[in-house]
Amino acid sequence: MSVITREDIRNVAIIAHVDHGKTTLVDGMLRQSGVFRENQEVRERVMDSGAIERERGITILSKNTAIEYNGVKINIIDTPGHADFGGEVERVLKMVNGVILLVDAFEGTMPQTKFVLKKALELDLAVIVCINKIDRPEARPDEVVEEVLELLMDLDASDEQLDCRFVFASAREGTCVADLADEPKDLKPLLDAILTSIPAPTGDPEKGTQVLISTIDYNEYVGRIGIGKVDNGKIHVGQEIVRVNYHNPEVREKTRITKLYEFDGLKKVDVQEAGVGSIVAISGIGDLQIGDTLCSPDEIDAIPFQKISEPTIAMNVIVNDSPLAGLEGTYCTSRQIRERLFRELNTDVSLRVEDTENTDTFRVSGRGELHLSVLIETMRREGYEFAVSKAEVIYKTDEKGHKLEPMETAYVDVPQEYSGTVISMLSERKGELQSMTTLSDGTVRLEFEIPARGLIGIHGNFLTATKGTGVMNSVFNEYAPYKGDINYRKNGSLVAFEDGEAVTYGLFAAQERGALFISPGTRVYAGMVVGESAKPEEIEINVCKTKHLTNTRSSSADEALTLTPPKILSLEQALDYIDSDELLEVTPKSLRIRKRILDSRLRKRANFNK
């Protein structure tokens, strides 16, 4: 054994709650390390490469980059902050020796801060705490430092981890200080902290090759690209290796390394060889999976790997069979949809896709509503057309046959005047209030234990009830006994009962019955949901209704009819809104809510037989 320490490398992941500034901080590190030319125009949040990531301001897939500082190569992994993409965070931590925990100087420690920090502490990683957004007028860095230390103690951190370095930053300004009294200039205090506080990677170069694949990238031209750290030995192009898996002993495949890359700034650079501690990308191995270990044939030893967390929520993706099917999408058949869903498994390990008894229906399971909605939005933009059912939680049974359901811990920050409304709203959905604290700005923080299904479809109502001022975050807790039935929606639907085009006259008559989702000129069909009823029951209406010919003299009076602007639902809102007897029809141009059974007589018969 001749274990060495690679002092010329540091491997670090940036972890935080959603929207605390991880990607912006990486931007600043890239700019100040000379990755970009002096006059190069660089967009903000350069690491968020996906269109949906850029629009929503969230990171969905972890990203690798590398910078050079004082002769040391720092490999940086920007991880997602949202709980639905926690599977990404769990895996990439196997590649690093330490983490930068980013905490907002105003919001303080949030549920996802706790989740990602817990994972890092379990792997015994070194921690640097970076209090970000200290330039915010309402920033409270000193209190947040206390919150972080309390959180570390709650999570049973070791003495070394409790003695972690604190730095204070404004990622947006690209500055950082080791002490709040210092004058902020650049990010050097953070980079210095990485060199001194994050251990250098160690390994035995004399041993056989061992590379644990922690992330999978996918490229249309080269196929699957495995990303992982060289734990022992070295790896080179042309080398014969064996692919094995700690959790799946049946995997044992001989293959050869055809392409090897390392990261430099935002680029992958071809290399011939990489040694202990290097983070590499490998292409050309067809069936490469996350958790696989690439070993030398004469020294086969799979590296233990944490199993990916199981999905907690599922929905059906169904071939669109509405009267308007196939008019707007390029890919509409079950074969095309099935192929696309299974292709998503190449990069998303937290996702499950299963065939069902019906060849036109596929069961898709994920970590939460956001996780599934991002997949739906991506497919929609690629030209796919399909329908989806209401999301349902995945139940389990214990050894005594009792039904168990996933429980979440929900944290809600609201102004004092809305706290009663929110407590009542979550209590109706089987939420139990655990604690209530008043923050320094007068906001109230509520902590609930609530079934995961109680959070399905709540965000739209929550934002309306708090007039857009409330913030809700949740994180999976555990499976617990079933809490009883929940009534999701108090209002019924307004359902069109004939095919045609909606007209002002028909809509004017319909709007007295509730809130409309469509405007004049929208194509509708029998069984399509065109609005929300003001009453609990479903109401059938004719939005294509025109005046009788006997009224021709007053036809110009149509122009005087005033319609209330329709309530246009986003993808998330539509997924939230649909009930168990409804589907959401998704096409590249439209989102239509419809009844699962379009024919009104058959629908009434089905409801009667329930």
Tens digit of each residue's pLDDT (9 = 90 or more) over 364-408: 998 777 778 888 988 998 999 999 999 888 899 988 888 999 888
Q: Which CATH class is domain 4-202?
A: alpha beta
Q: Is 572 left (phi over 0), alpha (psi -120 to 50) or beta?
A: alpha
Q: Which of 97-101, 453-457, 523-527 has the lowest mean pLDDT?
A: 453-457
pLDDT of residue 338: 95
Please report where in the chains the tokens 């509409």 appear, as a residue.
332
pLDDT of residue 559: 56
pLDDT of residue 387: 96
Architecture per CATH, 204-295: Beta Barrel (2.40)
- E strands, 401-492, are 403-415, 432-438, 443-451, 471-481
In this structure, what is the dihedral angle of CA atoms 476, 477, 479, 483, given to the nearest 10 degrees? -90
Other CB atoms within 10 Å distance of the CB of residue 423: 18
Calculate the average pLDDT of the chain. 82
State mean pLDDT over 244-251.
Answer: 82
pLDDT of residue 527: 93
Query: Nearest 5 degrees, angle CA 10-CA 18-CA 118?
Result: 60
pLDDT of residue 51: 45
In this structure, what is the dihedral angle of CA atoms 556, 559, 560, 565, given to the nearest 10 degrees? 160
Question: Over pLDDT 90: what percentage of the chain?
Answer: 18
Nearest of 167, 197, 166, 165 to residue 184 by alpha carbon = 167
Report the sign of the C-alpha dihedral through residues 455, 456, 461, 463, in that order.
Answer: positive
> Which residue(s) pair with 77 in the sheet?
13, 64
Which residue type is seen at 265? Answer: G
Q: DSSP secondary-structure letter at 30?
A: H
Q: Which residues contact 165 (CB under 8 A, 6 or more apart)?
A: 128, 129, 193, 196, 197
pLDDT band, very low/low/confident/very high, at 516 (cuts 50, 70, 90)? very high
Residue 240 DSSP SS3 = strand
Architecture per CATH, 493-583+593-608: Beta Barrel (2.40)
Element (H, E) at 192: helix 188-197
Domain edges within the chain: 4-202, 204-295, 396-481, 493-583+593-608
> Which residue(s) pair with 27 in the sheet?
none
Instruction: Compare 429 and 284 and report the one with higher pLDDT.
Output: 429
pTM: 0.75
What tokens appear for 314 in the block? 């599922």
Nearest of 230, 225, 222 to residue 205 by alpha carbon = 230
- pLDDT higher than threshold 50 for residue 45: no
pLDDT of residue 54: 38
Q: Is the domain defined by 396-481 classed in CATH 3.30.70.240?
A: yes
